[in-house]
Structure 1
Amino acid sequence: MVLAASPASAGTKEQLIQIQTQIQALQDQMARMQQSFDERMGVMRNLVEQTTDSVNRMNTTLVSLDKGLKTTVADSGGKVDQLSTQVQSLQDSVDELKTRIARVSKQLEDMQAAQQTLNTASMTTNQVPPADVLYNNALRDYNAAKYDLAQQQFSDYMRYYSTTELAGNAQFYLADILFRKGDFGSAVTEYDKVLEQFPGGNKAQAAQLKKGYALLELGQRDAGVRELRSLVARYPRSAEATQARERLTKLGASPTAAKPSAARRTNN
């Protein structure tokens, strides 16, 4: 029997499709804007280079003229002095043009650098997979014992999707990867994050169990026993509590903390 999708789920699916379409349209628009920017930057830089070449040629010509005029000062008298003054004025104008061109070139470089920074940030954002894809890929690699790859993906999930429903699971797997690598101290820290940040999550019991195991691996027997007993007391009917009892029994420890004797209570 095929169950029809509820109106609510159908509406959500339509909204997701609309959002995906809008995102694609924005990405296409950004690509066109980038192409237009690159083309304009190329044209502007080409114009600046052409202008620089022209100014340099003019400057070379003026220098040659000035040298030629100085060699004929004795023959032409005052007229040469007047021409020399005009040449110097033109050289001053050329120097001013060179300064302005250098300033424009610097502005173009700054604009291009700023655009590259924006492009890098945009690429970083666009390269992050959707939450479900990232989580499923990480879980697949975790189950395949590709722990380094899974660790990176779960870390990315917590960086970008730390408020989603599966964030607690991702945090648990980060801790568990450290446990499987034998880094028990770091694993305890990461299991604590599950217990503190996601106390109502479906991995809280498993996190407390594995935290107890990690403490025992670190040689902290008393702390490990306390953690396992706490788990048994909080979730007595859970599968994790059963495992905790079995481990406590192997350690020769009671599943529950011993109650103070009547004599001790009286003395206190």
Structure 2
Amino acid sequence: MFRRFLVCALVATAMLSLSPTRSSGASKEILELQRDVATLQDMVKAMQRSQDDKFGELRALVQQSLNAANEASRSVAVIQSGFQQNLRDQEVKVVTPVVGLGARMDQMANDLRTVSQAVADLTGMMSALKSQLTDLNNAVKVMQAPAAPPPPTGSAATPGGQPEVPPISSKDLYDNARRDHSGGKLDLALQEYADYLKWYGNTDLAPNAQYYIASIHASLGDNESAVREFDMVLEKYPDNNKTPDAMYGKGTALMKMGRRTEGGNEFRELIKKFPRNDLSTKACDQLKSMGYLSCGSARAAAPAKGGTKRKN
């Protein structure tokens, strides 16, 4: 704005100086105008210098601000770098041991599983060895027992007249025979049943032992020996809980040998003596399959037997 005013004053001064008529009043006005112009020029210069100084100060302040910002940025970068490095160091210090601990725990778990498996294997081996030792002990006792049949009185005696002592109790001997029988050790079971009859032929379980000897022969396909041993049950122990089983087993063995008439007669005798027994029903079915007439009437007319309590 001052520049415009100054330009206008200069133009007016020039116009007045070029005017052909110069009066004293006009000259005085021109001089005053020139003084005003000079004053304005001084003011403009002063203002210019003031603005330049202020702009210089402003530039200095801006530069200082930029420098401070750069310094702050560098400080932040240093702090951030230090923080990240510290974080990485802490991660190395914390995570690495945890990873190592996890690996050690996995290794310990694997070792524990290995030890557990080894203990289980060892336990199985010990059980097998114990079973084998028991079987071997029983076999030794059986082998050590004399093979001579018992005297008619039912008590074993030595040549000197003193009674022999059984090498094993009746319960243990019978239980061993049943266990070996169930386990498929048929030869050992046969010997143990025979020893039971030798030492304990007058006990309640003697008919069972005799019956199981016959049934083992039948399972081995030796039907002739089976018939002979079933007859021993029927002859020596006619009134026992295994009599129906022995009669049915004998009839079945006779049928397998082709002696159908004898087998049919054995089945009829079973139905006659034990009409309410389940084996009589099976015997009746066998007779029907052979073409014989119905056996129901004979079963109904016969007295009920075979109700004795069964012993294994």
Which one has the largest radius of gyration? 2
Instruction: Please give the TM-score of this superposition, normalised by the length of structure 1.
Output: 0.48
Q: If each structure's helix is expressed as a fraction of its own residues, which one has the higher value? A: 1
